[in-house]
Structure 1
Amino acid sequence: MGNRNFFKDLLNSFFGGNNPEAAKKRALKNIAKNISKTKYHFYKASTNEIDPSFAKFFYEIYKAISPAQAMIQSINPAAFKHMVINNSLSERQLKALDNISENAITEAVRKKPLKEVFDETKIQIDAFSSEFDSAKISSIDNLYTNLMNFVNFLQFDYFFMLKKFDSGLKENSFSAAPRFSPISGTYVLEDLKNFADVAWPVLSDSSWEEVFKLIKRAKGVDPISSGIWKKILARIRYLKENRIIEMLVQLISENPSYKEDVSNKELYIVDDFITDAKKQAEATLNNLKEKQTEGKIEALLTQIFGTTQIEKLKFYTEAGSAPFERKEIGRFEYCEPLSYLKKFILDYVKKDIKELSDILLVRGEWASQELASPMSEAFHQLVENVDKIIALDNSLNDSVDLGLKMKTHLPRTERDKESRNIIHSTLNFVNTSAAKIILSSVNFFIIYGKNLKMILEDCIKQHPALIRNWKDIDHFAEGKLKQMCIAVYKEIFSFVSLMQNFHIEINEE
């Protein structure tokens, strides 16, 4: 037994039994023998060349699918999804989809209030999406997967590969017979792998009727006759079942352990289509809402200030915000409303409202001081808030305080996460401070306005209960006290309405 093992090891050492290189050569020799037993003798092992019969095989496929290639190239790639889904929609869904289009929504807003159009659009979206049950979704996704498998197969660059065998070959020209020559297998190694990627998936579908119907509906003619397509599939199936492409790659790359890794990937389009339809409708509505809001803001600015050109703050501005927005760190959120608030306090609170407050709160004899306190406190807080606005704005001067901090850290944000966090935190602090000033001011305006309304209601009573000397202070106001109260109330109401067009919230980190 021992002698027999010795002689076996000795023979192996001479003839390479345990030599990896020798084992690889034997494996490649066996692969070459196996491929020679198939009906397609594409490979010449002695020279590692690909035979012209290989080129002829693919030339016949190329010639058969050439019209379909041109047809597919004329279709926008983005249209394939719409082709599949629109083909599967019911009349009810098509109508709902049309009703949530940009044109339909825009036209509806011209005739109805925006809120009503919002509600109607939601109903249409629900009607559109509710018919997509699991069976319908699966059917659509499968059809799209098959369509794209077909498209990918057509888009394989057959001409590029075939030109390697005949440099005189002309693209999509089949009048003259090609003259193919053998070439080194390395020239088509990647082509073989790429072909397997697009060819094997088309073998997974048992019926191509729906795919061809879809293309014919779009282009008016069949992409390829069913008989020719069946012959192509039969040839490809033979390649796959006999592992011809895989063996060619193994031989050319001299890697007998190479294995194909091609899987048929399922494509899913319905969920994204529904989401995109919703997003598009919502974007249209939001855009229209923004335009309406802009129109309301401009109208209110004109009503309140007599112009839409309101003086901006010094540093808390859109221009000051731009460097942070470019780096996607954040921005100054409330530039417009804060500038409007500052101007309103300076132009109206410190003038018209102060004049009225001096009469009502200073000269008026209130039934009790507690009744006058809310109105008095609201006025004084509003006056203080304009100082807070100016202080916050000045703190952003890049030579002091917060502005200096952000100016120092801004150049470092690309490489220093901490600097980025510092600026983000500072922006949040500034925006939160601005929001607090705006919201508190609106609240004080509401308090002042409510008390003013109570005074107006009280003054017409035979025996006023709030201010006892109404007649005296009205005389001081030259008989125009009531008109002054009404005018200030309207000013406050208009300004509060203006502020309600801005989404302002406090974000405490």
Structure 2
Amino acid sequence: MSEEKQVKSGFFMRLLSFIVGHEVGAANKGAKALKSIQKQLNKSGYKFFNLKKDLINAQFAKFVYQVYAAVAPFREFFIQNTQDEFYAAQILNYSLDTDQHELVAKLSSQSIQVLATKIELKSLAEQGMNFFVALRDGLENERAGEINNTYNALVLLKQFCVIDYYAGLRKFHGVFRENSFEELPHFDSVPTAYMKEFVMDFLTATSLLLSIQDWGNVFDFLKKLSGIEDQAFLRFKQQIAVLHSMENNRVFVGMVKLVSHDPDAELQENTSSKNIVKPYLEGIYQEFRSTVEEIHHKRVIESQKKLVDDVFAGHALVPLKFYNAKENEKYVESKAHCFEHCNAFLYLNSFFALYFRDEFTKFIENFEIVAQCNRQNYISDFTSLYHELNEMQSAVTELDTKLDTKFAEGYKLNSLYLRLGVNDSVVANFNMEIDSINMKVRAIIDRSLKALQKILVFYDELIHERSHGTFDIISNWDELNNKFENGCLPLLKRTKNHISTFLALMKNFKQLE
């Protein structure tokens, strides 16, 4: 072998020797640390682990059995309901004082519904908010910490108690009946691998349990809710004292390292706490708000129905063929955009069909020809509004008609609808088409309402003048009157009433759906 090869070979041998030696040294160091931990536990009287044979000793099982006996009454209570939400509700109910219970009752949906029959909705909303603020301030500023701490401590207690002690202890070959504690069973030592999961679960739950320093509120709550005897609480307190003593002797820390075969092992604890007061208050506020909104919505619907009855006076509404609620159902089901103003457009179409051709046209045609006006451009301004409304009526009919598949607009919309599941591009194009139609509908409604508001001013002026027998605007009322069977005034008043009630109905037309 050449000198160069010998040098390289020697270098790699030294490197390999260093690595192996380092690993062996680390292993020896770890083994010594574990032996030291076991020695310390044994010296403290806790011979729970046999490092040489890798066994969980029977003494550990006897200790766990004593814990099992102490937690048994609590475990029996907790396993009846393991849902944390149940205990959150119970603790909150237990923690509220009399005044706070009254505030919660006043904010309930039933109480708000009753109160709504006695006072105006605005006063109801203000009064309800005052109730809520008083409840919130009393809990958040004074009691929240105590309530949340009680809940989180209870959850840790529950986790500790609902461990399946019976199944775990049976693995130590213990022969005994579940929840039977007349005498201490015989236990055997068992291999660590066989018991590791149970032991680690127990150690984790124990560590979390011992993080709670004050059990007063939890025990007071459980005494009221559970029916557990006082003697059981006394035994459990004594057991907690034992656990704290063991913690001070680093028994549980040592067991974690021994069971894990790692002197650096630590428990992976989830110590996150939960705020139950905040979501509780949010829930109460949401119920109150939803109830007020429901009452408001119901009253809006009732008011809308009354206005519809007033406007159309028993006449059947005149439906549109394509821009309507029934046609819109398929768009709603598709989860894409849909028609937004079916009711408003229906009411506008019905108003035009039932009154425009009859009342408006009958008066305007005679007024335009017969009336002699003392104001410049009065007649032309009046009639131009009539012609604008006539144009809007045609626009309603035209828009609806063109949604028929015989026309380009309707064909395009239907084609896109039938292809909605193809890809996102089709959905986007369909939504754009629907949005464009809705925009046109809004424009027609807006323009119609503005024209009606302006023409209403003319009707008010003419009614006022005719009712008072003056001739400031029209100089030949008698001649104009003769064109109508009962004179002008009844027709003017009737038309004005229809316009006024219709404008009231359509005041917030976007909310009519």
TM-score using structure 1 length: 0.82
Q: In structure 2, what is the Cα distance between the partners aligned to 1:342 and 1:72?
A: 65
Q: SS where residue 17 of structure 1 aligns?
A: helix
Deviation at 1:155, TM superposition (A): 3.3
> Which residue, out of 430, 447, 452, partners 1:445?
452
Please provide the CA RMSD for this pair. 3.7
Q: Which moved more, 1:447-456 or 1:11-20?
A: 11-20
Q: In the TM superposition, what are the counterparts of 1:239-258 in structure 2 within 5 Å?
A: 240-241=247-248, 244-245=251-252, 248-254=255-261, 256-258=263-265
Check if 1:403 corresponds to 2:441: no
Q: Contact 1:367–1:466 (CA<8 Å) still a contact in 2? A: yes
Flag the 1:363–1:233 CA change in 2: closer, same or farther, 3 A: farther
> Which residue, out of 356, 362, 367, partners 2:374?
367
Q: In the TM superposition, what are the counterparts of 1:140-179 in structure 2 within 5 Å?
A: 140-165=147-172, 171-174=178-181
Deviation at 1:104, TM superposition (A): 0.7
Superimposed CA distance per residue, residues 81-125 of structure 1 (whole angstroms, 9 cap, x where no aligned partner): 333334444444332222111111111122333333223222222
Deviation at 1:207, TM superposition (A): 1.6
> Which residue, out of 60, 71, 74, partners 1:65?
71
Give structure 1 stretches of 5+ with no counterpart: 1-5
Deviation at 1:281, TM superposition (A): 0.4
- Residue matched to 1:3: none
Q: In the TM superposition, what are the counterparts of 1:246-325 in structure 2 within 5 Å?
A: 248-254=255-261, 256-306=263-313, 310=317, 313-322=320-329, 325=332
- Residue matched to 1:230: 237
Deviation at 1:67, TM superposition (A): 1.9
Q: SS where residue 84 of structure 1 aligns?
A: helix
- Residue matched to 2:23: 19
Check if 1:102 corresponds to 2:106: no
The residue identity in structure 2 corresponding to 1:232 is Q
Q: In structure 1, what is the Cα distance between the partners aligned to 2:229 and 2:365?
A: 87
Q: In the TM superposition, what are the counterparts of 1:209-224 in structure 2 within 5 Å?
A: 209-221=216-228
The residue identity in structure 2 corresponding to 1:56 is K
- Residue matched to 2:477: 470
Q: In structure 1, what is the Cα distance between the partners aligned to 2:169 and 2:314?
A: 72
Q: In structure 2, what is the Cα distance between the partners aligned to 1:197 and 1:374?
A: 87
Q: In structure 2, what is the Cα distance between the partners aligned to 1:308 and 1:44?
A: 94
> Which residue, out of 34, 37, 40, partners 1:34?
37
Flag the 1:34–1:349 CA change in 2: closer, same or farther, 3 A: same
Q: SS where residue 411 of structure 1 aligns?
A: coil
Q: Contact 2:417–2:430 (CA<8 Å) still a contact in 1? A: no
Q: In structure 1, what is the Cα distance between the partners aligned to 2:290 and 2:158?
A: 32
Q: SS where residue 467 of structure 1 aligns?
A: coil
Q: In structure 1, what is the Cα distance between the partners aligned to 2:35 and 2:405?
A: 77
The residue identity in structure 1 corresponding to 2:290 is A
Deviation at 1:289, TM superposition (A): 1.6
Superimposed CA distance per residue, residues 200-221 of structure 1 (whole angstroms, 9 cap, x where no aligned partner): 2322332211111122233455
Deviation at 1:456, TM superposition (A): 0.6
Q: Contact 1:398–1:407 (CA<8 Å) still a contact in 2? A: no
Deviation at 1:377, TM superposition (A): 3.9
Q: Contact 1:398–1:406 (CA<8 Å) still a contact in 2? A: no
Point out the structure with max Rg over C-alpha.
2
Flag the 1:111–1:251 CA change in 2: closer, same or farther, 3 A: same
Superimposed CA distance per residue, residues 342-389 of structure 1 (whole angstroms, 9 cap, x where no aligned partner): 222222223333333333345433334533455434433333334434
Deviation at 1:282, TM superposition (A): 0.8
Q: Contact 2:168–2:198 (CA<8 Å) still a contact in 1? A: yes
Q: SS where residue 340 of structure 2 aligns?
A: coil
Give structure 2 stretches of 5+ with no counterpart: 1-9
Superimposed CA distance per residue, residues 50-104 of structure 1 (whole angstroms, 9 cap, x where no aligned partner): 3343333333323322222333344664343333334444444332222111111
Q: In structure 2, what is the Cα distance between the partners aligned to 1:209 and 1:116?
A: 43
Q: Which moved more, 1:442-451 or 1:242-251?
A: 242-251
Q: Percent identity?
A: 21
- Residue matched to 2:494: 487
Flag the 1:299–1:270 CA change in 2: closer, same or farther, 3 A: same
Q: In the TM superposition, what are the counterparts of 1:105-120 in structure 2 within 5 Å?
A: 105-120=112-127
Flag the 1:248–1:117 CA change in 2: closer, same or farther, 3 A: same
Q: In the TM superposition, what are the counterparts of 1:348-367 in structure 2 within 5 Å?
A: 348-367=355-374
- Residue matched to 2:5: none
Flag the 1:98–1:389 CA change in 2: closer, same or farther, 3 A: same
Q: In the TM superposition, what are the counterparts of 1:341-352 in structure 2 within 5 Å?
A: 341-352=348-359
Q: Contact 1:98–1:104 (CA<8 Å) still a contact in 2? A: yes
